[in-house]
């Protein structure tokens, strides 16, 4: 008999395993990949942003699911930082309020964490891919063939539907749907957007666009983004991605620190007969910004410097998104994240239908839901 089973060894699953092991319960963690925390390790390659150091009220406002409030209250920014320090991973807060380990990478944290889990009695099985149910049992394809497990409690932490090569392939959706679990359709989140560029833009692929403001509906967002062969990517676009996905139009204020009157005055003072490109350069635009003006407003370039319309062809594909919206609907779970249709089975992390921006919010949300589900599963096991 398996006492506690956790399927999925990402940040949410490992946190659930830690909560279960804290009660003394034997815990088995199974993951389809050859090693644990693959997506976390990939996300941390350029600097692991673990949370955002800000008041709880500000943090909660960045999530779209009110049901997360008690979980984030129980494991918010201060708790995340203390937890990292307890693993021997000192942290620091950047000027933007984003919090990082001093080591910056995810690998030292993952190594320390898995070692602590093993010491607390957690057993890992990698290359164990869950393939649905065999009656009431959980069926796995493993290196030694098909195995079935009958745990007393189970925590599912299987991820969403993006980054399939790292394990989040949403293969679990039909298996839970067949058991009566309500699934909200997937949508990409924190993703880039497709643009059909003219050939002249090829010279600017890979170039960052700085010093602009994004006009999205009634919002004005300052942030950088990158021109790619397929469209637009980067932090500024990700911050606006939900509104853009839901139908808002995108325009760019290429000179956010200059008023229209100031721009008009400077243009009037320029030498008659100067080329359009030279005038734009004298206003302070770089090569990439000038290329954008010529791409989207070639006939009237000076009329759109404060609101250059950008023609988007829709969001990037789901698998290329940083995160997703959709998944297990909140009516399908109890306050303890137990599936109403499958008593004794809990869910956490990106499987749940919630959405948050980048900047530490995603990882904090996964840890908070994993801890919450693990504690609820431990209470169920003790009963």
Give this prediction's pTM.
0.94
**pLDDT beyond 80 at 168:** yes
Q: At what angle do helices 260-268 and 276-283 cross, to 10 degrees?
A: 130
pLDDT digits (tens, 9 = 90+) for 280-295: 999 999 999 999 999 9
Q: What is the pLDDT of residues 227-253, one digit of tens each?
A: 999 999 999 999 999 999 999 999 999
Per-residue pLDDT band at 361 (split at 50, 70, 90): very high
Domain with CATH 3.50.50.60 in the chain: 2-188+318-382
pLDDT digits (tens, 9 = 90+) for 48-65: 999 999 999 999 999 999
The answer to whether 35 touches 130, Cβ cutoff 8 Å, is no
- Superfamily name with CATH number, domain 2-188+318-382: FAD/NAD(P)-binding domain (3.50.50.60)
Q: What are phi and psi of 206, to 5 degrees?
A: 90, -5
- Cα separation, 118 vs 113, whole angstroms: 9
Q: What percent of the chain has pLDDT over 70?
A: 100
The whole-number pLDDT of residue 227 equals 98
Split at pLDDT 50, 70, 90, the class of 163 is confident
Pair of tokens at residue 41: 């390790």
Beta-carbon contacts of 285 under 8 Å, excluding residues fewer than 6 positions away, are: 254, 255, 293, 305
> Once rounded to an integer, what is the mean pLDDT over residues 302-323?
95
What mean pLDDT is predicted for residues 215-232?
96
Across 68-93, average pLDDT: 97
Residue-wise pLDDT for 102-131, tens only, equals 999 999 999 999 999 999 999 999 999 999
Distance CA 369, CA 348 (A): 5
């Amino acid at each position: 008999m398996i006492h506690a089973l956790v399927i999925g060894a990402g940040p949410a699953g490992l946190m659930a395993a830690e909560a279960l092991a804290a009660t003394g319960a034997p815990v088995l963690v199974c993951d389809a990949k050859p090693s644990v925390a693959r997506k976390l390790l990939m996300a941390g390659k350029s600097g692991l942003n673990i949370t955002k150091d800000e008041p709880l009220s500000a943090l909660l406002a960045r999530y779209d699911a009110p049901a997360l409030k008690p979980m984030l209250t129980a494991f918010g920014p201060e708790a995340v930082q203390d937890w990292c320090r307890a693993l021997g991973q000192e942290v620091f807060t950047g000027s933007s309020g984003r919090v990082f380990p001093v080591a910056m990478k995810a690998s030292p944290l993952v190594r320390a964490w898995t070692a602590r889990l093993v010491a607390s009695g957690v057993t890992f099985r990698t290359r164990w891919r869950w393939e649905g149910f065999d009656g009431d049992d959980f069926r796995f394809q493993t290196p030694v063939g098909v195995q079935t497990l009958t745990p007393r409690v189970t925590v599912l932490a299987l991820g969403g539907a993006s980054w399939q090569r790292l394990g989040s392939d949403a293969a679990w959706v039909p298996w839970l749907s067949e058991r009566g679990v309500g699934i909200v359709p997937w949508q990409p989140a924190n993703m880039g957007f497709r643009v059909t560029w003219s050939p002249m833009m090829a010279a600017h692929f890979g170039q960052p666009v700085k010093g602009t403001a994004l006009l999205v509906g009634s919002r004005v967002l300052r942030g950088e983004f990158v021109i790619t062969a397929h469209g637009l990517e980067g932090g500024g676009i990700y911050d606006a991605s939900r509104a853009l996905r839901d139908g808002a139009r995108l325009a760019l204020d290429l000179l956010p620190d200059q008023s229209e009157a100031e721009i008009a005055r400077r243009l009037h003072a320029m030498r008659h007969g100067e080329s359009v490109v030279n005038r734009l350069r004298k206003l302070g635009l770089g090569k990439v910004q000038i290329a954008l003006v010529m791409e989207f407003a070639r006939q009237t370039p000076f009329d759109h410097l404060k609101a250059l319309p950008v023609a988007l062809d829709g969001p990037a594909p789901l698998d290329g998104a940083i995160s997703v919206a959709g998944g297990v609907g909140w009516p399908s779970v109890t306050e303890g994240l137990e599936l109403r249709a499958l008593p004794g089975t809990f869910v956490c992390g990106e499987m749940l239908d919630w959405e948050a921006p980048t900047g530490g919010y995603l990882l904090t949300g996964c840890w908070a839901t994993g801890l919450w589900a693990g504690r609820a599963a431990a209470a169920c096991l003790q009963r």
